[in-house]
Chain A
């Protein structure tokens, strides 16, 4: 099921998401392209993932639903800002592509990847783990309902098993 980014994008649209903050990531490449191309969406490229916590909080203050796309390595950059999300009960929808998890070749990705669910849970973010392409869109739909309906922070972790195992050799061959 290679069209999971298209399905995920439609789910975001149907959930009323109109502002998307992102730090570029190979796993989210297609989804980012779809967000940039959509006239109703505002795609905001961030210099670090932490900025997206403020961005989406500001959007909610202004009556707009936001989502945040990042790789698992960026989760650690968000930790202190997530304290605001929790204290203010800001809705937050995080879509996280996993590294350091399933057949990872880069050892530097492993510590943050392995700690990602625990770090999010520790900051009060409800974690959904999508281990197959089919599971992603329904899970994002549920996470969006939890975020915007129940004013919660919710994350969907997209497994490295779905995205594929990256290696520098494969990238060089492209």
Chain B
């Protein structure tokens, strides 16, 4: 079944009424997607460290067990850190979700095909690694269930959402890493965060 999903609409839907959800986004298109849905100090969009988004989410989820943590990243970024799915499977963080927005392309470098274009099934990998739920999403009817899992059900959750390969306008978050870190900590931990 071919997907009809548009990535910006998917991400906007997942982040709507997000309350105190903590969000980490992989570099490139998914960082622009979460920013298009509305920039927030509780977003940590990456501009580098490719392959590390899910691990940042794990460290954060273990540090903040009472909060929900969502990692939104691309298929190319996830493929570079595939081992982190095994690491997360071992730790079983109940408050962590990893969502891969899968357009089967390296979007920032010329839309070259990734492994998922040839059928590599990331949801099956996540399931084999011990995620509490792991699904492939191809239609809008599956999004409400996923949203519910991200915001409440016992995880860790994984979703590979097949989306159209679109070239979209850039919506850029702040670039300064120190600023992104400090605003996140202040919003999460309070004004005194940097007096620690």
Which residues of A does B touch, CB under 8 Å? 19, 42, 44-48, 50-64, 66, 80-81, 83-84, 87-90, 148
Contact = CB atoms under 8 A, between A and B. Distances in A.
Interface in B38-93: 44, 46-64, 81, 83-84, 86-87, 90-91
B52 A19 contact: no
A83 B49 contact: yes
Contacts of A61: 44, 56, 59-60, 63, 181, 184-185, 188
B129 to A, nearest CB: 10
Nearest to B180: A88
Given A46-B87, A47-B87, A87-B178, A55 B59 contact: yes
B21 interface: no
Contact of B87 (A19, A45, A58): A45
A54 B181 contact: no
Q: Is the interface of B mostly helix, strand, loop or mixed?
A: helix
A123 to B, nearest CB: 12
Contact of A88 (B59, B62, B81, B177): B177
Given A50-B51, A83-B48, A89-B181, A63 B196 contact: yes
A59 B63 contact: yes
A6 to B, nearest CB: 25
B1 interface: no
A89 B63 contact: no
Contacts of B53: 54
